[in-house]
Amino acid sequence: MARAFLRATAVVAGLALSAVSISAQATGETPPAAPAALPGLPAAPWLGVQMDAGGDIGVTIEHVVRGSPADKAGMHQGDRIVTVDGIKTTAPGQVTRAVGQHKVGDTISVEVERRGTATTASVVLAQRPSGDEILKMDLVGAPAPAWTKVSALAGAPSSIAQLRGRVVLVDFWASWCGPCRMLAPRLSALKDKFGAQGLTVVGITTDDAEKAAVFAEKHQMRYPIVVDNSGDTSRSYGVSALPTMLLIDKKGIVREVFIGFDPSGDARLESTLKTLLAETAPPAAPLPPPAPSAPRPPAR
């Protein structure tokens, strides 16, 4: 069963994870989760990048959180962090320690290498958010990431793009997740209540197809199930806790994220659903031009 590869939407200094039922695995030397701030202690400074690997020419940035200090300073996925405040970095832990030596509000100088060109970013460090806050920063207000390497069960959609024009509630779940079992019949009830008004509920799981189908039948999942075969889709959404639900509007934009199971949140979820269902759907995309009747000669 695929738990280990579900990594958090991460983020240095330190890796901020959601409170979870997933065993998320960090990359490189990035240290384990830590709270954004402890009572009586100063807030932890935050750069807002997930680092992949180190080497002689710096530390590769695997992901930059939207709205983070790194994002505001113009740092990008694929950049390599070469120095922090003039000190060479060859491993993720070195970047983490360099950032951790500062306080919130400090400006640090980060030299990055981008496609063979060196550039320097002045980064104003912010207070490190919680893992849940980071996930919402990354997703809310942005287009829902595409699904990759998934298998659609029993007529389920094979891509998020197929659902454009409808409000979509995507639920990331697993058969081993206790709260997911309690949530499933509630989502079925929402599908029954609002489906005719334009709501589609989709469950996405890294369980294999047979296990997912058995679970869906046993726990009253009257909505389509998609199997995330490699975990790539879960990673692209930054899922580190189950259940994690996203509300996506008719234009394909993530409008809300719900992490964990909270029965008291039913009213807020339903209220948000009604708001999105009342919005005007985007116009249909224009049809592509007809294909030429014969192959065109190569352009020169």
CATH number of the domain to which 271 belongs: 3.40.30.10
Question: Can you give the pLDDT at residue 39?
Answer: 60
Which entry of 144, 180, 225, 273 is annotated as an active-site residue? Answer: 180
Digit-coded pLDDT (tens) for 82-118: 999 999 999 999 999 999 999 999 999 999 999 999 9
Shared-domain flag, residues 18 and 39: yes
Q: 264 pLDDT exceeds 50?
A: yes
The residue from 130, 151, 183 where one domain ends is: 130
The DSSP H or E segment spanning 189 is: helix 178-194
One of 12, 64, 170, 177 is an active-site residue; which one?
Answer: 177
Is 52 within the bounds of a domain? yes
Share of the chain above pLDDT 70, in %: 81
Shared domain for 172 and 119, answered yes or no, is no
pLDDT, tens digit, for every residue of 162-182? 999 999 999 999 999 999 999
Per-residue model confidence (pLDDT) at position 284: 63
Higher pLDDT, 241 or 12: 241
Q: Using an 8 Å Cβ cutoff, are 156 and 223 in contact?
A: no
Two tokens, residue 212: 């997912």
Report the pLDDT value the prediction gives residue 291, as an integer from 0 to 100.
Answer: 44
Q: pLDDT at residue 297 above 70?
A: no
Please indicate, yes or no, whether residues 121 and 197 belong to a single structural domain of this protein.
no
Q: Residue 22: pLDDT above 50?
A: no
> Is the full-model pTM beyond 0.85?
no
Same domain, 165 and 259: yes
* pLDDT at 260 (0 to 100): 92
Query: How far apart, in whole angstroms, are the C-alpha atoms of residue 194 and residue 245?
Result: 17
Average pLDDT (21-30) is 33
- Examine the domain organization and report whether 171 and 95 are in the same domain: no
Would you say residue 286 lies in a domain? Answer: no
Q: Per the structure, how many domains does the chain have?
A: 2
pLDDT at 3 over 80: no
Q: From 250, 231, 230, select the one nearest 239 (Cα to Cα).
A: 231
Residue 15 belongs to what domain range? 1-130
Mean pLDDT for 69-73 is 97
**Residue 15, pLDDT above cutoff 60:** no
Q: What average pLDDT does the segment 19-31 reach?
A: 33
> Domain of 10: which CATH number?
2.30.42.10
- Write the pLDDT tens digit of every residue in 178-228: 999 999 999 999 999 999 999 999 999 999 999 999 999 999 899 999 999
Q: Is 177 a catalytic residue?
A: yes
Our answer to whether residue 233 is catalytic in this structure is no
Average pLDDT over all residues of the chain: 84
Other CB atoms within 10 Å distance of the CB of residue 237: 24
Q: Which residues fall within 8 angstroms of residue 64, CB to CB, at 6 or more apart?
A: 48, 49, 50, 70, 71, 75, 76, 77
pLDDT score recorded for residue 192: 97
Is residue 32 domain-shared with residue 80, that is, in the same domain? yes
105 and 163 share one domain? no
